Structure 1
Amino acid sequence: MSDVLEDLRWRGLVAQSTDEEALRAALARPCTFYVGFDPTAPSLHIGSLVQILVARRLQRAGHHPLLLVGGATGLIGDPKPTAERQLNDADVVAGWVDSVRRQIEPFVDLEGPNAARMVDNMDWTSRLSAVDLLRDVGRHFRVGRMLAKDAVAARMASDEGISFTEFSYQVLQGMDYLELWRRHGCTLQFGGSDQWGNITAGVDLVHRAAQTQVHAFTVPLVTKADGTKFGKTESGTVWLDPSLTSPYAFHQFWLRAEDAAVDGYLRVFTDRSREELEALATATAERPGAREAQRALAHDVTALVHGEAAVASAEAAAAALFGRGDLEALDEPALTAALAELPQTAVGEGARTVVELLTASGLSPSRSAARRAVADGGAYVNNVAVRDGDAELAPGQLLHGRWAVLRRGKRTLAAVDARPR
């Protein structure tokens, strides 16, 4: 229990804290902590996974988790520094609360002496009248400190300004800490480093309203090696819901991690020991082409979120696409998910011969280049080398009656969709 703070620091999971010595003392014995998630979409994403895994580490160290899904705060949304958020219907947000709860629950232990508890701030917020909120909670907030929050300051300086609705968000989030202290004896909150202003507002509210000291720390926002936003791809956000980001695409995201960033991701997202991570860091430095660290990362995080069977399916699909496995052995969902990550062309758009398909898919810049690829033995349909560029795609070549995989050279791929239009 006393080592958990040092472990979090080693993993790069502590950015700011209210009082490090007091926090260390609080973590030396079992304490109740909370972390909040606003349901602003039907699924959490891999940025949210960082917070879930910190909660998991603290629980494993003997502490008591409260996982808050904000049915009330989700109706408003934390202010963005750029523009007003779109307000979602109450029924939509309530549905998202349920789906987010279901996503979080498998990562923590809901039974045992320090069982995790799921909570919803709608339970206490909905019972407050506007007058009660202003008299009992609002009087403890100072407008000057609220205006100093980065996102609020940015919006105040913009032409659009900020609505009172979004400005009041930090009052609601601060009230969460006070209510969880009263109801469950919660004395620690953590969250992303972009939440520091909201988190300290809660700490200050508990101090003012209850004359007691509570604790807080933030977790750095995970970034790419160049410091840019993590978890975004050309196709969008990397979600935890497999219907929004397929397990294949999820696995591929981690497999593509940059060498300069992979050690940090392994510390944050996996339970591998220091010795294992040191060995993987050495392997990355000495044999970068083998991508051992990336493969370990992709395996561990995909297995954690989607299970070992999803890892096996993703690895089999990737191997088959690049000629190291049997495409026909892939089931339809696995094949479709893998091909969704590739450029696609349809045979119904006038391209039917191999040369035409290579050109239409963008694998070759021209028909003459496509013919050269065929002549050089570098064009493949379903991993079979093509000898005749004028041969048309035959129905018997279609995988699951619909797909064919084009490949030029070793690694340049595209999918052919022969579905009737």
Structure 2
Amino acid sequence: MAASIVRTYRHLSRHGSCILSKRTHLYPGFRSKFHSSASVHSELLSSLHKRGILKDSFPEDAAQDALPRLLQAAPQTVYCGFDPTADSLHVGNLLAIIGLLHFRGAGHHVLAVLGGATAQIGDPSGKTSERERLSARSVETNTHSIRESIHRVFANHELYFHDGSRPLGTVTVLNNLSWYKDRDVVGFLSEAGRHFRMGTMLSRHSVQSRLKSTEGMSLTEFTYQVFQAYDFYHLHQIYGCRIQLGGTDQLGNLMSGHEFIHKVSEEEVYGLTIPLVTSSVGDKLGKTAGNAVWLNRDKTSPFELYQFFVRQPDACIERYLKLFTFLPLAEVERLMEQQREDPGKRLAHKRLAAEVTKLVHGKEGLESAKRCTDALYHSSVQALEEMSDEELQELFREAPFHELLLEPGTTVIDACRKINAIPEGPRGYRMVSEGAVHINHRRTDNPEKVLIPKVHILSNGLSLLRVGKKNFYIIKWLSL
């Protein structure tokens, strides 16, 4: 299985600003133990702490004693859940996936659990209002899309970032609907519900904040922590899973799972939290906040993902290199030193963007992002010629795309008028004459100029037309 994720993905393929949330000590007995000396940690936990990927552990002494011993004793199984409430994951989810990748790279087995059941309930954590109800069909569609995306990221990690120094652990993608779909509500409540105490459930921060709001909280949302706790129990029973990863906003759900398993089986399990990546105003980088940078190409292109990281503030770059890349920490330090010596080159920004884009979209995605960058920001005609129709449409998502028949004698003004890029009559003619039109980054001021191959029409049969500073049009020329 360790080597099969690439083959699995290939089979499937064929068919802002940086602030990390500082939420801590929200619950009694939950305190960070990662500040203690590295000698008490396993190599993995120490590395993840230094990179900033791990924030806290539960129970409070887990990272100091029990977890290092457990991880050193034998390969363990670690899980993280992702509710398919949209048809793509986003950058806000990426850190959790990277956490799983680090565990897998250290030889541990990982489970990515898609919430085909829990997505229909809605996690209240970090939300100010209840989610809109999703149909079962929408959840199924979203689940399929996210499953393929997760396989892609794991395959890219194995292809481009695993050095082969130790065997990879297995990776399994599950849907929690598979263990709920045949359960009846009375049987489930009779089995699981009796182990939960209302006082404890009501004390959770996610519940308290919602109960105090004007909208309040529905019974459906209130039960979410029961289902996430049962997920952990099920994975513990079937897969021997003893470690759950989650964002700091998942703390209450994580604690519920620990308490439930301990009551039912008297087994000890552990929770690890990762920091939330938020916007400059403190909102999670996710779809609810309306600022999502997606991991699926049809929603956020490789170019857009690349540019998102290139444009991060200087103050974020070192932290993001540690969080979102697999570069050794010594190499991160060297990069930052080079950055300080010559800030204008933005070497660290570009390396960060390249590493993340290759992880999410693979080598071809990174090459596409660089072509688009050269075409847009460096006015590279060669890059334009090498771009596919798909890349051009991704680069200029709002730009109209036209297919035109290339007739003999077609002029600049003919092309502009056929795609409605300029007004009819003398005003449009004058715009061309005054140099308002650029074709393939070249200014043209002769409306009657006949289109010339390799000048106005690139070798790939495309023309990029710009009117003014921001109005782009893409023309695909069809031969007679």
> How high is the TM-score relative to the length of structure 1?
0.83
Look up the match of 2:129.
83
Within 2, Cα distance between the matches of 1:54 and 1:306?
18
Contact 2:77-2:241 at 8 Å conserved across structures? yes
Contact 2:106-2:169 at 8 Å conserved across structures? no
Within 2, Cα distance between the matches of 1:233 and 1:77?
12
Q: CA deviation at 1:341?
A: 6.8
1:99-142 CA distance string (max 9 Å, x none): 222221244479x7832222222222223222222222111112
Q: CA deviation at 1:188?
A: 0.7
Look up the match of 1:348.
420
Q: Confirm or deny that 1:15 pairs with 2:55.
A: yes
Q: Matches of residues 256-295 of structure 1 in structure 2 within 5 Å?
A: 256-295=311-350
Deviates more, 1:225-234 or 1:12-21: 225-234
Letter of the structure 1 residue corresponding to residue 67 of structure 2: L
Look up the match of 1:168.
223
Q: Confirm or deny that 1:41 pairs with 2:113.
A: no
Letter of the structure 1 residue corresponding to residue 340 of structure 2: A
Within 1, Cα distance between the matches of 2:362 and 2:387?
18
Look up the match of 1:362.
none
Within 1, Cα distance between the matches of 2:291 and 2:139?
21
Q: Matches of residues 223-238 of structure 1 in structure 2 within 5 Å?
A: 223-224=278-279, 227-230=282-285, 236-238=291-293
Within 1, Cα distance between the matches of 2:380 and 2:335?
24
Within 1, Cα distance between the matches of 2:92 and 2:368?
24
Q: Confirm or deny that 1:384 pairs with 2:437.
A: no
Within 2, Cα distance between the matches of 1:100 and 1:317?
26
Look up the match of 2:464.
404
Look up the match of 2:114.
69
Q: Confirm or deny that 1:28 pairs with 2:72.
A: yes
Within 2, Cα distance between the matches of 1:392 and 1:246?
37
Look up the match of 2:144.
98
Question: Of the candidates 81, 96, 103, which is equivalent to residue 51 of structure 1?
Answer: 96
Within 2, Cα distance between the matches of 1:106 and 1:417?
30
Look up the match of 2:170.
115
Q: CA deviation at 1:2?
A: 2.4
Q: Name the count of aligned residue pairs.
A: 400
1:156-204 CA distance string (max 9 Å, x none): 1122211111110110000011111111211111111111111111011
Within 2, Cα distance between the matches of 1:235 and 1:292?
30
Report the 3-state secondary structure (helix = DSSP H, G, I; strand = E; otherwise coil) of the residue aligned with 1:237: coil
Contact 2:437-2:467 at 8 Å conserved across structures? yes
Within 2, Cα distance between the matches of 1:26 and 1:352?
75
Contact 1:56-1:107 at 8 Å conserved across structures? no
Report the 3-state secondary structure (helix = DSSP H, G, I; strand = E; otherwise coil) of the residue aligned with 2:370: helix
Alpha-carbon distance change, 315 to 103 in structure 1, aligned in 2, over 3 angstroms? same
Within 2, Cα distance between the matches of 1:120 and 1:392?
61
Within 2, Cα distance between the matches of 1:141 and 1:283?
54
Within 2, Cα distance between the matches of 1:213 and 1:75?
29
Question: Of the candidates 285, 307, 315, which is equivalent to residue 362 of structure 2?
Answer: 307
Report the 3-state secondary structure (helix = DSSP H, G, I; strand = E; otherwise coil) of the residue aligned with 1:307: helix
Percent identity, aligned pairs only?
A: 35
Alpha-carbon distance change, 134 to 392 in structure 1, aligned in 2, over 3 angstroms? farther
Q: CA deviation at 1:340?
A: 2.1
Alpha-carbon distance change, 65 to 44 in structure 1, aligned in 2, over 3 angstroms? same
Contact 2:79-2:112 at 8 Å conserved across structures? yes
Q: Matches of residues 166-205 of structure 1 in structure 2 within 5 Å?
A: 166-205=221-260
Contact 1:72-1:122 at 8 Å conserved across structures? yes
Look up the match of 2:44.
4
Look up the match of 2:180.
125
Alpha-carbon distance change, 303 to 207 in structure 1, aligned in 2, over 3 angstroms? same
Contact 2:242-2:270 at 8 Å conserved across structures? yes
Letter of the structure 1 residue corresponding to residue 96 of structure 2: Q
Question: Of the candidates 297, 319, 324, which is equivalent to residue 242 of structure 1?
Answer: 297
Alpha-carbon distance change, 343 to 226 in structure 1, aligned in 2, over 3 angstroms? farther
Report the 3-state secondary structure (helix = DSSP H, G, I; strand = E; otherwise coil) of the residue aligned with 2:80: strand
Within 2, Cα distance between the matches of 1:350 and 1:281?
48
Alpha-carbon distance change, 231 to 165 in structure 1, aligned in 2, over 3 angstroms? closer
Report the 3-state secondary structure (helix = DSSP H, G, I; strand = E; otherwise coil) of the residue aligned with 2:277: coil
Within 1, Cα distance between the matches of 2:395 and 2:430?
19
Q: CA deviation at 1:414?
A: 4.3
Alpha-carbon distance change, 395 to 204 in structure 1, aligned in 2, over 3 angstroms? farther
Report the 3-state secondary structure (helix = DSSP H, G, I; strand = E; otherwise coil) of the residue aligned with 1:52: helix
Look up the match of 1:323.
379
Letter of the structure 2 residue corresponding to residue 45 of structure 1: H
Which structure 2 segments of 5+ residues have no match? 1-40, 159-166, 402-415
Within 2, Cα distance between the matches of 1:201 and 1:266?
33
Which structure 1 segments of 5+ residues have no match? 360-366
Question: Of the candidates 265, 270, 276, which is equivalent to residue 215 of structure 1?
Answer: 270
Deviates more, 1:161-170 or 1:20-29: 20-29
Alpha-carbon distance change, 351 to 172 in structure 1, aligned in 2, over 3 angstroms? same
Q: CA RMSD in A?
A: 3.5
Look up the match of 1:363.
none
Alpha-carbon distance change, 86 to 354 in structure 1, aligned in 2, over 3 angstroms? farther
Q: CA deviation at 1:413?
A: 4.9
Question: Of the candidates 391, 395, 410, which is equivalent to residue 338 of structure 1?
Answer: 395
Contact 1:225-1:258 at 8 Å conserved across structures? no
Look up the match of 2:189.
134
Within 1, Cα distance between the matches of 2:237 and 2:430?
66
Deviates more, 1:320-329 or 1:140-149: 320-329
Contact 1:121-1:176 at 8 Å conserved across structures? yes
Within 2, Cα distance between the matches of 1:234 and 1:134?
34
Letter of the structure 1 residue corresponding to residue 208 of structure 2: A
